[in-house]
Amino acid sequence: MESRYKTYQYVEQLPQFVGNEVELRGWVQNKTEKGKLVFIILRDGTGITQCVIFKNNVTEEIFSNAKSLTQESSIYIKGTVRAEERAPGGFEIDVTELNVYNIAKFYPITPKEHGDAFLMEVRHLWLRSSRQHAIMRIRSSVIKAIKDFFDGNGFKQMDSPILTPSACEGTSTLFETKYFDIGSAYLSQSGQLYAEATAMALGRVYTFGPAFRAELSKTRKHLTEFWMVEPEMAFFDLNDDMDLAEDLVEYIVQYVLKNNLKELSVLERDISKLENIKRPFYRLSYDEAVDWLQKNKIPLKKKINGQDVDIVPFPWGEDFGSPQEEALMEQFDKPCIIHRYPSDVKAFYMKRDPNNSKVVLAMDMLAPEKGGEIIGGSQREDDENLLLERIRKENLPEDDYQWYLDLRRFGSVPHSGFGLGVERTVKWITGASHIREVIPFPRMIYRIYP
């Protein structure tokens, strides 16, 4: 689509301008001087290119302006594009004109190494660095892929409320805020329940928005504010749900491979590992997973009276923690879905397995290479009485769930859905070591600045 708005020439278009004059606008990533030469690495958001200012080719004023440039100063340049092997990226601009928008003073992020704590303090500037730039472009691709996938498969997007009257799942700690005279409102931890209602109106829907958890998690895979896409499908059973989850993840990874090879290379990501992400993925029932843990003597780590205790063999009925998930995933080179968990460790809205009342029709997708849990989903309980029973058992406020029970009173149907964590997925695909790197401005316990 041709833009109606003002367009400029960009670094990413340089190959088509070799031998011609271009005008570029951007920031000075680095500058070195060598007598009558000034080299500038110009960054314009689409890429970087080297610009050379040779004293004899420009006016005295331009040359002295070039010498006075500092890291991250913003400039306009005009010059001729030339293929140049010695330059990063293979192209170089012979500069004839230079205008300065702003001379940056004392940019704090130097080309040397920095610690994480410092970089988080200057997150608003850190985003300009090549690694963060690459991650943000991949994040944008992942979101585009998600929307394309659902839009192309007959889904309608619906938006769930962010302010909610009570907990969706009843378990997590929520952010609370005053809501006029009505009392308290809570920031949503999931749009799922509302997506279920909308699926009964539109058939197949997805909700895509932020989720908030006030838990005191302090790990490299948790944020207090994160983005989640949650499809919900009427007339889908657990198997349909798992098929859809696999298709989605395959589509996202292949989309990124098709569109972001340059970024993946900046991140030094092993492409072959991503190329391998094609259906079918692996699937294990919880029972099979527990068998494997027991055979391989993977313990359950528990705290009993303040003492760390390893329980072997792993007892049936306990939920998996990071140590179990990581051990299980070491054998796989593709994502693995674990399904049919004990009902006691899963949320109240999950449907009981008709073949085994001890388990629910739940599924989690774990990513390889320590990607961890990227998807959690289930077939939903569609029987009014069984659902009410679970709500009472978990001591949830029954009144708040009357509308949700209505969905089971007026034309209840089998339906399923899942939630995919955008940051967890981007972290896995990019190979980032910490989730805070894959969202522009991470919100974590102990950090809300900048």
Give the contact letters, 268-307, x = binds to RNA (CB under 7 A), - = no. Answer: ---------------------------------x-x----
Phi first, then psi: what are they for 242, rounded to 5°? -70, -40
Q: Of the two residues 55 and 406, which places its CB atom closer to RNA in the complex? A: 55
Q: Are 365 and 245 in contact (CB under 8 A)?
A: yes
Q: Which of 15, 161, 315, 321 binds RNA (CB under 7 A)?
A: 321
Candidates 149-157, 284-292, 372-380, 397-405; binding stretch for RNA (CB under 7 A): 372-380
Nearest distance, CB of residue 80 and RNA, angstroms: 12
Beta bridge partners of 356: 353
Tell which positions 235-264 bind RNA, by CB under 7 A.
none
> In whole angstroms, what is the distance from residue 133 CA to residue 374 CA?
23
Give the contact letters, 199-218, x = binds to RNA (CB under 7 A), - = no. Answer: --------------x-xxxx
Candidates 28-36, 193-201, 261-269, 276-284; binding stretch for RNA (CB under 7 A): 28-36
- The count of residues interacting with RNA (CB under 7 A) is 74
**E strand or H helix at 432, and its extent?**
none
Q: Are 314 and 300 in contact (CB under 8 A)?
A: yes
- Rounded to the nearest 10°, the torsion over CA 427, 432, 433, 436 is -70
**362 token code pair:** 């739940």
Nearest distance, CB of residue 304 and RNA, angstroms: 12
Is the N-terminal amide bond of 450 cis, ω within 30° of 0?
Answer: yes
Q: Which of 205, 253, 375, 426 binds RNA (CB under 7 A)?
A: 375
Tell which positions 65-124 bind RNA, by CB under 7 A.
70-71, 84, 86-88, 92, 106-108, 110-118, 120
Q: Which of 246, 263, 353, 423 binds RNA (CB under 7 A)?
A: 423
Token pair 């996938």: residue: 149
Q: For the chain, first and last CA: distance in Å?
A: 35
SS (H, E, C) 185-227: EEECCCCHHHHHHHHHHHCEEEEEEEEECCCCCCCCCCCCEEE
Between helix 402-409 and helix 384-393 the angle, nearest 10°, is 160
Tell which positions 46-75 bind RNA, by CB under 7 A.
50, 52, 54-56, 70-71
User: What number of residues does the chain have?
Assistant: 450
Our finding on whether 30 is near RNA (CB under 7 A) is yes
Nearest distance, CB of residue 425 and RNA, angstroms: 7
Q: Of the two residues 181 and 296, which places its CB atom closer to RNA in the complex? A: 296
Nearest distance, CB of residue 7 and RNA, angstroms: 28
Candidates 13-21, 139-147, 397-405, 413-421; binding stretch for RNA (CB under 7 A): 413-421
